[in-house]
A and B are shown apart, each in its own frame.
Chain A
């Protein structure tokens, strides 16, 4: 039993010559019979015929046979399609192993790059940047941070310049750094922002936020934070961090690239990475702070008190937000700071009551 179809306007291409061949079309005994002008008849088993997907226009179809990658039958009589049972069945995917291998390789390459090579290179190169270069790097980053934190969108975030307060802070830095090689001059600035935080930048910039001074219960806590940040300056952590960012941002840009701008993803991921790799540095800076504070006759427990304030403000690292604060679990560090206290020594306050009062109004 054979059924004929309208071959008018249909064409067969043999996969070698771009010249259309007229066809007569029949289905008989489970075969699609394609009759060509030269008398030859091709027989395609109906379950081996597939239709090309996503064809525009909709009034025609293009058919192929699974065993022949090149031949094509352009069809005008769509009633033929009803007789072909597996038009849209997909071929089993080829080279899946290879794809998985390269996917693993890509993930491994990015991981190796971000977590091993870039940090290694950054750590080694950081020591070779001359002080002027570090200073320039710090100034540029400081400017960017001030602009990023500004909420009005007009001027960079203001630096607090109450003369007496600034003097008091500088005196404190001098006291903390006395008898030590700080590697470079430390510049302390206070930013007029309510965030309870402080950070160090390349080139010896130490930055406190007004929020930190407001939250502090006394001058010792500010001194402790300063000592901690000076610890970062000494081990040139900020410079390494800047170099690492330069390397890893480019790599992540490759991965996320043009997908919907990607900038947000990029920023968050970069923050995650920096929080990851600065934990060891934080512990190191803490230990440096205990030492410096003890030497200056200030109680190391002050650092623990400051952390306790932070904890009250933000909660512990148990919630997601704290992960972005780039500090290891605060509770652990509070215990460590209190353990660093030597009971036999009588500690003195880090500055006079007048100086502390001046520091508290440095932003007014």
Chain B
């Protein structure tokens, strides 16, 4: 068979995309099912999150492992679940290794930076900035390493995935593309998105088969349309309300005058006589929400476009992901999760006010306030800590249930493999031992949660 040569790296000829007729169903190809129930995930996230709090955070390695096992096994290309074989103990080991290495870097480097910042610049801001900038390359490095670990511990139909070494190469490229993106005022953002994805995908294996990110970076401009349109809309709104036909023709002399005018507006419903069509200021929140929508839309639709150009040897991917739907899920899910967080925080502040300071004059009217204020201080402290931790637990659980779950499900069911002829020629790859697991990402809080 002529394609066998493609299967062993380094391949001698690049796989070429085939024209696959998907109109009449997936005769030769396969779809991806998603078979998990939201309720089951909720309980798993709640249970493991609870243990994490009980163990002061140590169970998080187990929590992460169990959640990944669940998510992976819910995703079923051709009806067969993915398998996550990562172990909690190896994550714990990786965390220790990363702490040993990073302690010296972070401690000494921060101290030196502070010293230089005060000696030379006489301010701490530069020191904080430099210490932040210094972590950025390690941050990208850690992201690539974390991805390598996760892929090395992912199997489908008993065959391992894998990512080649190359974390520093990724970190330097990421820094360079970011610099270009900033210099070009964001115009080269799609180039960064595409080239970083290509760097990762071109080093990704399934068994013996290497994947390839095809296409060109210019194709991602399509995904920026909603964002660019909102930006133009914002620019026009600014021009109209500030230059062409100003809302405040006499200018705003001081902020307090503006606030008192707004108070009048709320109480009497009348606007000051010198304002011109003030309802136009509502164009700004509209334009800004459009930009938020556009940013989320870009992130996911660029994934779809690139997925449609991912190929392996006689294997091809296709995605029908809906940008609008994903954005909706993303916004609504995050809204729910943050709503709980904010409601909880408000409750917490009230609780603290009553328990520690006897309330700011509002205590007597509230039910139970007397009893709370009468508690010994250490009981209040423990109660406070419990409520605080529960809040973050609930946020994590809701985020899993209402953001990660629907997004994963949508991604899974909209992705398919229209061409799978090459699968038969794939064989197993060797295990990637990878002692430090995702320790760096864990220590640097990259949120490598799922």
Residues of A at under 8 Å CB distance from B?
11, 13-20, 52-60, 62, 70-72, 74, 93, 95, 98-99, 102-103, 105-106, 109-110, 113-114, 117-118, 121-122, 125, 128-130, 132-137, 140, 242-244, 246-251, 253-261, 264
Contacts and interface: CB of A to CB of B under 8 A. Distances in A.
Interface in B87-140: 89, 92-93, 95-97, 99-100, 102-104, 106-108, 110-115, 118-120, 122-124, 127, 131
B28 interface: no
B157 A246 contact: no
23 contacts: A13-B157, A15-B159, A17-B428, A18-B158, A19-B424, A20-B157, A52-B83, A57-B73, A72-B83, A99-B93, A117-B108, A125-B115, A132-B122, A133-B118, A135-B122, A136-B122, A140-B123, A246-B114, A247-B108, A247-B110, A253-B106, A257-B442, A259-B60
A99 B92 contact: yes
B69 interface: yes
Given A54-B69, A121-B111, A260 B104 contact: no
Contacts of A125: 111-112, 115
B40 A17 contact: no
B352 to A, nearest CB: 12
A136 B37 CA distance: 58
B70 interface: yes
Contact of A19 (B44, B71, B74, B157): B157
A114 B107 CA distance: 8
B317 to A, nearest CB: 15
Given A93-B89, A260-B392, A250 B73 contact: no
B66 interface: yes
Given A105-B100, A118-B111, A55 B122 contact: no
Given A19-B423, A72-B158, A129 B70 contact: no
B388 interface: yes
Contacts of B426: 17-18
B81 interface: yes
B66 A54 contact: yes
A55 B157 contact: no
Nearest to A144: B124
Interface of B: 35-37, 40-41, 44, 52-53, 56-57, 60, 66, 69-71, 73-74, 80-81, 83, 89, 92-93, 95-97, 99-100, 102-104, 106-108, 110-115, 118-120, 122-124, 127, 131, 156-159, 206-207, 388-389, 392, 423-424, 426-428, 442-445, 447
A17 B103 contact: no
Nearest to B157: A18
Interface centre among A71, A103, A114, A247 (most CB of B within 10 A): A247
B83 A110 contact: no
A13 B158 contact: yes
Contact of A243 (B41, B111, B443): B111
A118 B89 contact: no
Contact of A130 (B44, B73, B100, B119): B119
A84 B40 CA distance: 25
B35 A109 contact: no
A170 B35 CA distance: 76
B119 A129 contact: yes
Contacts of B115: 125, 128-129, 243
Of B40, B110, B207, most A-chain CB atoms within 10 Å: B110
A105 B107 CA distance: 16
B447 A258 contact: yes
A17 B99 contact: no
A70 B114 contact: no
Contacts of B207: 18
A248 B107 contact: yes
Contacts of A247: 107-108, 110-111, 114
Contacts of A259: 52, 56-57, 60
B45 to A, nearest CB: 12
B53 A122 contact: no
B236 to A, nearest CB: 38
B35 A53 contact: no
Contacts of A60: 81
A56 B111 contact: no
A58 B36 CA distance: 8
Contacts of B447: 258
Contact of A54 (B73, B158, B423): B73
A246 B111 contact: yes
Contact of B99 (A16, A110, A129): A110
A242 B127 CA distance: 13
Contacts of A72: 83, 157-158
Nearest to B35: A57
A103 B428 contact: no
Nearest to B67: A54
Nearest to A261: B392
Nearest to A111: B103
B124 A258 contact: no
B119 A128 contact: yes
Nearest to A110: B103
A259 B449 CA distance: 12
Contacts of A122: 111
Contact of B159 (A18, A93, A248): A18
A112 to B, nearest CB: 8
